[in-house]
Structure 1
């Protein structure tokens, strides 16, 4: 059954760029209030503040917080704020779109020394385990009601080998595993959990991947849709999937790529 999003709340982790930003915009256009968490320095922080004002111009509430999404202190501070803003009902939609980690190889080579234990641990913690930590804290606070949707952004790199992507690839594999287990554990509560696997999309995170120009050119040439995936494509999919109270679509890795994974 179709359920309008007007007046609902969304929590977007990683709201200031890429998939998180465009999904926040699409949700706001659908009438959803947005709580955004991002981690930016001076210029990025100012851009995020302008974006929050842009969303309020659409007639919804938008509250952004510049915090380290993976820090326990950030959750301790913000979960009570989320409870207050949502009048104790919690967010209907939670999007984990966190792209912060180390891009390097596992082993030393002519171009680098290989990943350090600290880099590997940080990348998996931020991009993988933080989904579990946020879900735990929201659940403990009674902020995951029946019908809520949790989405985590993954990529084809979670199952493929891309040069210089090894730590992030490990984090995405961990993230997808967490999605499956969370889906099963939250099923009795009527909360759906899915991973969204976007096709190759030109975002700030992609531009940091070594050799991304070759990857972009290759995927653009082979995509059956004749173009790369755009953040707006992902946003449209999340809005569409969120317009139902049914928890029956859960535990999946959903491709939003125009068929790219079928021919890559």
Structure 2
């Protein structure tokens, strides 16, 4: 069956992007890609320091909604979705690019990870996506797309990824179960698995520069991906061109994941 897609293909779509820390963030690449394809953006930030870096980016992308969101703070998430409902009355896409673990638990091995640190990492990096989906679904009255960011270390052991491996594995499983539960409402859910990128979050991993170098050497395409590669993949998944895709973990890594 044929369908018409406006030019630009996401013209007028309402998109919430969470997790921008600065111009190097994967979430910023997603926001920029969605805006380039015509979407209207709601952008969040964490704390006063975060606002300093994110507000100029939100202004550059002409985001009419710009709000604080710390998923560990009760009420923050509800306030964001209440504002979206009040101003837009609907929501088409959510990009969840949020991950955190206590530094001591992140840089130590899994055996040494504290129960408190594991629980905190799971709540912020994984369960926040479930909570976000619960709030987004009623606003996706004509269907929509939920996207979250994973990593290869969810499925294979990556040295020094430590506690985030099990956490991202749980996130990918959550995306599949949400795809199943929300499918009848026309809501599609995906986990995106980018290759290594120089982001602030990644800088907390031990020997991350070595990981970048190895990825570039192993990639069949011979180079690393960038945040816009990830962003345009997410944007594609929100178009009618991807209307029959859901529950996938999509690798955006130049092919590194296929290599032994």
TM (norm. structure 2) is 0.90
> Which residue number in structure 2 is paired with residue 32 of structure 1?
39
The 10-residue stretch of structure 1 (244-253 or 119-128) with the greater mean CA deviation from structure 2: 244-253
From 10, 25, 28, the counterpart of 1:21? 28
Structure 2: gaps spanning 5 or more residues: none
From 105, 108, 132, the counterpart of 2:109? 105
| Structure 2 residue matching 1:204: 3-state secondary structure | coil
Structure 1: gaps spanning 5 or more residues: 108-113
Aligned-residue offset at 1:71: 3.2
Which aligned runs of 4 or more in structure 1 are off by greater than 3 angstroms?
none
Alignment of 1:231-250 (within 5 A): 231-244=227-240, 247-250=243-246
Q: Is the contact made by 2:236 and 2:242 (CA closer than 8 Å) also made in structure 1?
A: no
Aligned-residue offset at 1:62: 3.4
Q: Is the contact made by 1:105 and 1:163 (CA closer than 8 Å) also made in structure 2?
A: no
In structure 2, the CA distance between the partners of 1:219 and 1:124, relative to structure 1 (3 Å rule), is same
Q: Is structure 2 residue 183 aligned with structure 1 residue 181?
A: no
Alignment of 1:141-180 (within 5 A): 142-180=138-176
Q: Is the contact made by 2:70 and 2:77 (CA closer than 8 Å) also made in structure 1?
A: no
From 6, 12, 30, the counterpart of 1:7? 12
From 111, 120, 138, the counterpart of 1:122? 120
Number of aligned positions between the proteins? 249
> Which residue number in structure 2 is paired with residue 80 of structure 1?
82
> Which residue number in structure 2 is paired with residue 111 of structure 1?
none
Alignment of 1:181-260 (within 5 A): 181-244=177-240, 247-260=243-256
> Which residue number in structure 2 is paired with residue 47 of structure 1?
53
Task: State the distance in 2 between where 1:213 and 1:164 align.
Answer: 12
TM (norm. structure 1) is 0.88
Deviations 1:34-84 (A, max 9, x none): 111221442x3211111111111xxxx332222202433112222211101
Aligned-residue offset at 1:245: 7.6
